[in-house]
């Protein structure tokens, strides 16, 4: 079975080939146009997807060493995401499937972030807990089967990736700031600045208070010392990262205690964060839980996760017709 996976939910255009459950190529075209605006501009994103989609698919087919005639089915991200961006991938997938007379598989982007754990070994067994942390979502998901997931906690305001990116903006760092905060944090003192931990009941998260606390802290310090950001960047980033990670992991720990499930995974762009990766390993030891961390390239948006999800959906024979349309909002469960 050869699956062509297509991802276009946000600002990465990606195509991947999966043969019998093994990823053979994963091509990602990043859109650099958004950096100067400090965030993703939806209209610019759809235009860039239109330009990138054909060359990206060509390259994925070429690197996998196959011909387009070999492809058995097309899997594409149906949602959630930016509607204009999703439309490009969906329309491409539908046309390709129609032209080749092959089946179509619609994939939920948030499920795919989790299913990235089935690309390589070691793979978790059902049920497992997954903390999905990305640019638009922060969720704790009880994963019962490939396409049977239960949302047990989520953010009430900003996503973890947004918390990183908005904080980075306050610190004067370019978009997306998450990876830069990670980089500066490596040489900083995580205890340099005290930042609040929100008191939210249950397994839900909140990050908006943290953002405000950082804004006030920076404004206060800048009045005393205009060089504050230059001299204390590493300490600021380390403190911010430490707090975001502790908010995430305290809830994940609670989820393990509540469910008794002892396999914990992370997914989504923020799972590339080195502080989160290290501290998750520590939490695993503490809770005697098995920890699953995806490879970097399968954390942020990529089509390999769409192709692997497509492979498992293909086994179930759950195809969709040409009348399928993308949806901007879509629940994981
Ligand atoms: P969603 O999946 O919710 O629709 P998205 O697809 O935009 O959102 P991803 O591509 O999965 O999200 O992740 C992007 C986010 O990951 C950005 O907010 C980015 O700052 C963050 N990120 C990437 N690398 C790191 C890192 N090393 N440390 C912290 N954050 C990071
Ligand atoms: Mg992205
Ligand atoms: Fe994503």
With a 6 Å cutoff on the Cβ, whether 270 touches ligand 1 is yes
Mutate to test the pocket of ligand 1, among 269, 275, 276, 280 (most ligand atoms within 8 A of CB): 269
With a 6 Å cutoff on the Cβ, whether 167 touches ligand 1 is no
Q: What is the ipTM of this complex?
A: 0.97
Q: How far apart are CA 72 and CA 311, in angstroms?
A: 10
Q: Are 304 and 298 in contact (CB under 8 A)?
A: yes
Cα of 191 vs centre of ligand 3, distance in Å, is: 31
Question: Residue 254: its pLDDT value, please?
Answer: 98
Q: What is the mean pLDDT of the chain?
A: 97
pLDDT 10s digits, 21-47? 999 999 999 888 888 888 888 999 999
Cα of 274 vs centre of ligand 2, distance in Å, is: 18
User: From the CB of residue 224, how many other CB atoms can be counted at a distance below 10 Å?
Assistant: 7
pLDDT 10s digits, 56-98? 999 999 999 999 999 999 999 999 999 999 999 999 999 999 9
For a pLDDT cut of 70, what percent of the chain falls above it? 100
How many residues would you count in the chain? 333
pLDDT mean over 248-266: 98
Does residue 178 carry a pLDDT above 90?
Answer: yes
Show the 3-state SS of the chain: CEEEEEECCCCEEEEEEEECCEEEEEEEEECHHHHHHCCCCHHHHHHHHHHHHHHHHHHHHHHCCCCHHHCCEEEEEEECCCHHHHHHHHHHHHHHHHHHCCCEEEEEHHHHHHHHHHCCCCCCCCCEEEEEECCCCEEEEEEEECCEEEEEEEECCCCHHHHHHHHHHHCCCCCCCHHHHHHHHCCCCCCCCCCCCCCCCCCCECCHHHHHHHHHHHHHHHHHCCCHHHHHHHHHHHHHHHHHHHHHHHHHHHHHHHHCCCEEEEECHHHHCHHHHHHHHHHHHHHCCEEECCCHHHCCCCCHHHHHHHHHHHHHCCCECCCCCCCCCCCCC
Question: Residue 33: its pLDDT value, please?
Answer: 83
Cα of 104 vs centre of ligand 1, distance in Å, is: 27
Closest protein CA for atom 18 of ligand 1: 161
With a 6 Å cutoff on the Cβ, whether 135 touches ligand 1 is yes
Question: Residue 128: its pLDDT value, please?
Answer: 98
Q: Are 70 and 2 in contact (CB under 8 A)?
A: yes
Cα of 306 vs centre of ligand 1, distance in Å, is: 17
pLDDT 10s digits, 190-234? 999 999 999 999 999 999 999 999 999 999 999 999 999 999 999
The pTM score is 0.95
Band of residue 188 on the pLDDT scale cut at 50, 70, 90: very high
Band of residue 5 on the pLDDT scale cut at 50, 70, 90: very high
pLDDT 10s digits, 113-130? 999 999 999 999 999 999
pLDDT mean over 152-169: 97
Question: Residue 110: its pLDDT value, please?
Answer: 97
Closest protein CA for atom 24 of ligand 1: 179
Residues with CB under 5 A from ligand 2 (ion): 10-11, 301
Does residue 1 carry a pLDDT above 90?
Answer: yes
Question: Residue 34: its pLDDT value, please?
Answer: 84
């Amino acid at each position: 079975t050869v699956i062509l996976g297509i991802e276009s939910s946000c600002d990465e255009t990606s195509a991947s080939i999966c043969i019998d459950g093994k990823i053979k190529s994963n091509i990602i075209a990043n859109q650099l146009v958004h950096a100067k605006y400090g965030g993703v501009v939806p209209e610019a994103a759809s235009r860039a997807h239109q330009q990138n989609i054909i060359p990206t698919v060509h390259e994925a087919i070429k690197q996998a060493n196959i011909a387009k005639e070999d492809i058995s089915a097309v899997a594409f991200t149906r949602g959630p995401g930016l509607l204009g961006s999703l439309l490009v991938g969906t329309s491409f997938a539908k046309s390709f499937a129609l032209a080749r007379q092959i089946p179509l598989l619609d994939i939920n982007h948030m499920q795919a972030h989790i299913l990235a754990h089935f690309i390589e070994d070691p793979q978790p067994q059902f049920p497992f807990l997954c903390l999905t942390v990305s640019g638009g979502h922060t969720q704790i998901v009880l994963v019962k089967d490939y396409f049977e997931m239960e949302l047990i906690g989520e953010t009430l305001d900003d996503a973890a990736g947004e918390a990183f990116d908005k904080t980075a903006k306050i610190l004067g760092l370019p978009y997306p700031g998450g990876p830069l905060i990670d980089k500066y944090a490596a040489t900083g003192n995580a205890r340099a600045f005290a930042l609040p931990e929100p008191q939210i009941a249950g397994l839900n998260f909140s990050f908006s208070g943290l953002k405000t606390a950082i804004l006030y802290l920076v404004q206060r310090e800048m009045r005393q010392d205009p060089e504050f950001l230059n001299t204390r960047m590493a300490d600021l980033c380390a403190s911010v990262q430490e707090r975001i990670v502790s908010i995430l992991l305290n809830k994940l720990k609670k989820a393990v205690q509540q469910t008794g499930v002892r396999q914990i995974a992370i997914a989504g762009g923020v799972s590339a964060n080195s502080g989160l990766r290290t501290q998750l390993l520590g939490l695993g030891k503490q809770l005697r839980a098995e920890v699953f961390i995806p490879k970097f390239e399968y954390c942020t948006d990529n089509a390999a996760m769409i192709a692997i999800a497509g492979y498992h959906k293909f086994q179930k024979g759950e195809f969709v017709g040409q009348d399928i349309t993308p949806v901007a909002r879509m629940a994981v469960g």
